[in-house]
Amino acid sequence: MRSARTVIIWGLIAAIGAGALGRVALSRGESINAAWLLTAAICTYLVGYRFYARFIATKIFALDDDRATPAVRKSDGHDFVPTNRWVVFGHHFAAIAGPGPLVGPTLAAQFGYLPGALWIVIGVVLGGAVQDFVILCSSVRRDGRSLGQMAKDEIGPVAGITALVAVLGIMIVLISVLALVVVNALKASPWGTVTISLTVPIAMFMGVYLRYLRPDKVLEASAMGILMLGGALWAGQWVAANPALAPLFTLTGPTLALLIMAYGFAASVLPVWLLLAPRDYLSAFVKIGVVVALAVGILVVLPPLSMPAVTQFVDGTGPVFSGKVFPFVFITIACGAISGFHALIASGTTPKLLARETDAKLIGYGAMLTESLVAIMALIAACVLTPGVYFAINAPVAALGTTAESAALAVQQWGFVLQPGEMDALARSVGESSLLSRTGGAPSLAVGMAHLFDRALGGGGMALWYHFAIMFEALFILTTLDAGTRVGRFMLQDLGGQLWPRFREVTWQPAVWMASAIFVALWGYFLYQGVTDPLGGINSLWPLFGMANQLLAAVALCVGTTVIIRMGKARYAWATLLPLCWLLVVVLTAGWQKLFSADPRIGFLAHADRFSALHAAGTLPPGVPSLDALPRMVFNDRLDAAVAAFFLVSVLVIVVESVRVWLGVLAGRRPTASTEVPAQSVTLFAAD
């Protein structure tokens, strides 16, 4: 009886999902409601979780609750602690969710909602969630070992070192592009600038409170911090309305870029209790709160999607970023569909908390499905805007010009409706001086969210909600930026220590300061390059970031495939090989085009050639302030090309190394000795 009921229920879920997906995919001409997209996504996730995740759990890893997890075997009361699976789920989700799944789908909305939505939903079920789940299982079976260590153990030292250097390169690109998003969101916005600046003293207050006044009262301090964030929002509004103070906080892009670099440096050298840790706490709570609020907003309002299913920009002429829908939608949306960074988390703290092996399904596969849902919601929030408004916010100055009239004209030429006064009215309603060419995704997402929150929850009106959304996006990003700078500093100290052992000492201040300064300079250079780029910087940096993230995912999938083959489950290795092959096709195609495309809007080298020709001829391209700026831009193009080439070579090295190992193991030339910790029954270990 029960099995018959199960068949009927799952048959229904699958049918509803397929119906909704069909409605989303086939609707043309009329605007469809966001509910269809949500239904299609959620039903697909349910089916994927019930069938595919279970297949991986039982057939590939044979997860076994009698087999002791690291948390049980090495229980120490602090690092290795068997923890309730829903709590681990919350922890893991808070660690993997960041600005990535919000910004990527917003940018990819230039193709219409359909390409992004399909990639998010299908990519996560067959790729991203599989990657997170497989790496989590592999790490749990190896005492919580990290991705880098597993790459070295499973594939070999060359792959291990390549992965390490690639991670460092990825961090640099990641931090610079995220910082660029913040700069573009705060440019000429005294309200936003004041609110975000105040989050620093708020975190410091929490740090001092936790260190000296009430040690360990983390929730108390966080509650106060969250109240103060509300105060910061209000203070920002007050300053923006004050004619004497507002100009002081109306900053240009380059100034903001330098301030953010100073902040990253400070976060890296100051003690963690003062700035980094309290910011982490605040950010985790705000993150979960905002995700829930966004879900409530969308469910209450159920907005129609104003963006068409597919726009004409799938042909590669899009103003937000250049390149055809294949391969660029798969590069632009990394987090939310598949994100290599998650492999670092899934082989970090999470495997040390799992109480039972079977919990890995909910945490590895389930948390990634949830992040994917966040990406779908971000896509909905971006598509709530009319296409005219969306492109006016997200297209760079070079495409729109600098006035409301030129922007309206440009948008109308693309075939969308925008009245010259519309953007001014919108900017006024959210308390900004202008919303034209605020590239990076954050402002348009904030406008979309403000629409939803205002309609669903009421409250302070559009302006307050807009700045609330900007505040939390910046809070996320700065938390990634400061922790990332610190991690980068550690990695640099570790590398430098090979040549000069003293450089590695984390207590020796000169080394700490030097390594921090070098790392900040590295990402700061790319940030500054992006801020001063007339094409907005996102156009060149976001694809690099996407490629880097997908490269890391390819490394993780190589490790996963090797683990599966070494387990003697080669007949199921297609589960990781399938997404790996797709990623390779995507990354190699995108990398090739970014390097060698003859179209200067896509190819870095073609762009460099065009600008050096213009420099030689003495012609000034639109948006470039002076002829002297051209040689620097040519150099930057070539630098970006070198970075893309480095990522491509890294991915090829790791794939070739992996394939050699796979063939060796399959042909019996290599030992199949398992690197797993031998199975031990949970009954051997006393519970705490």
Partner 1 sequence: MGTVRKWIIVCRTIIGVPDYDRYVRHMQVRHPGAPVMARAEFARARLEARYSRPGSRCC
Q: Which stretch binds partner 1 (CB under 8 A): 75-83, 227-235, 495-503, 560-568?
A: 75-83
Question: Footprint of partner 1 on residues 586-645 (CB under 8 A)?
Answer: none
Which one among 2, 5, 28, 78 touches partner 1, defined by CB under 8 A?
78
242 in Cβ contact with 477 (< 8 Å): no
* 284 interacts with partner 1 by CB under 8 A: yes
Of the pair 152, 486, the CB lying nearest partner 1 is at 486
Chain position carrying tokens 């030129």: 406
Of the pair 37, 376, the CB lying nearest partner 1 is at 376
- Give the CA distances from residue 473 to residues 103, 440, 547, in Å, rounded to whole numbers and listed in that order: 9, 11, 22
Write out the two tokens for 249.
């906080």
How many CB atoms are closer than 10 A to CB 568? 10
* 91 interacts with partner 1 by CB under 8 A: yes
Give the 3-state secondary structure of residue 67.
Answer: strand
Q: Shortest distance, CB of residue 680 to partner 1, whole angstroms?
A: 17
Of the pair 190, 543, the CB lying nearest partner 1 is at 543
Of the pair 74, 428, the CB lying nearest partner 1 is at 74
CB-based contacts of 574: which residues, under 8 Å, 6+ apart?
Answer: none
Q: Shortest distance, CB of residue 386 to partner 1, whole angstroms?
A: 29
What is the per-residue binding string for partner 1 in 195-214, x denoting contact by CB under 8 A? ---------------x----
575 in Cβ contact with 355 (< 8 Å): no
56 in Cβ contact with 575 (< 8 Å): yes
Return d(Cα 393, Cα 550) in angstroms, integer.
Answer: 27
Write out the two tokens for 320.
């937000």
* 98 interacts with partner 1 by CB under 8 A: yes
Of the pair 341, 391, the CB lying nearest partner 1 is at 341
Of the pair 490, 592, the CB lying nearest partner 1 is at 490
Of the pair 122, 495, the CB lying nearest partner 1 is at 495
* 174 interacts with partner 1 by CB under 8 A: yes
Paired with 354 in beta bridges are 83
* 276 interacts with partner 1 by CB under 8 A: yes
Residue of 343, 333, 341, 321 lying closest to 171 (CA atoms): 341
Q: Which stretch binds partner 1 (CB under 8 A): 280-288, 292-300, 564-572, 645-653?
A: 280-288
How many CB atoms are closer than 10 A to CB 66? 11
* Alpha helix ranges (H) inside 497-623: 509-531, 538-566, 574-596, 604-617
* 501 interacts with partner 1 by CB under 8 A: no
Q: Shortest distance, CB of residue 298 to partner 1, whole angstroms?
A: 22
Q: Is 461 exposed, middle or buried (0-12, 13-18, 19+ CB in 10 A)?
A: middle
Which one among 215, 421, 459, 510 touches partner 1, defined by CB under 8 A?
215
Which one among 302, 491, 517, 518 touches partner 1, defined by CB under 8 A?
491
Which one among 344, 362, 373, 449 touches partner 1, defined by CB under 8 A?
344
* 522 interacts with partner 1 by CB under 8 A: no
**Distance in Å from the first CA to the final CA of the chain:** 41
Give the 3-state secondary structure of residue 99.
Answer: coil
Residue of 265, 284, 257, 261 lying closest to 203 (CA atoms): 284
Written as one letter, the residue type at 165 is: V
Q: Shortest distance, CB of residue 21 to partner 1, whole angstroms?
A: 27
| The Cα angle at residue 157 between residues 153 and 161, in degrees rounded to 5 | 110
* 106 interacts with partner 1 by CB under 8 A: no
- Site residues for partner 1 per CB under 8 A: 75-79, 81, 83-84, 87-88, 90-91, 94-100, 174, 178, 210, 215-216, 218-219, 222, 272-273, 276-277, 280-281, 284-285, 288, 334-335, 339, 341-342, 344-345, 348-349, 353, 479-480, 483-484, 486-487, 490-491, 494, 506, 545, 549, 686, 688
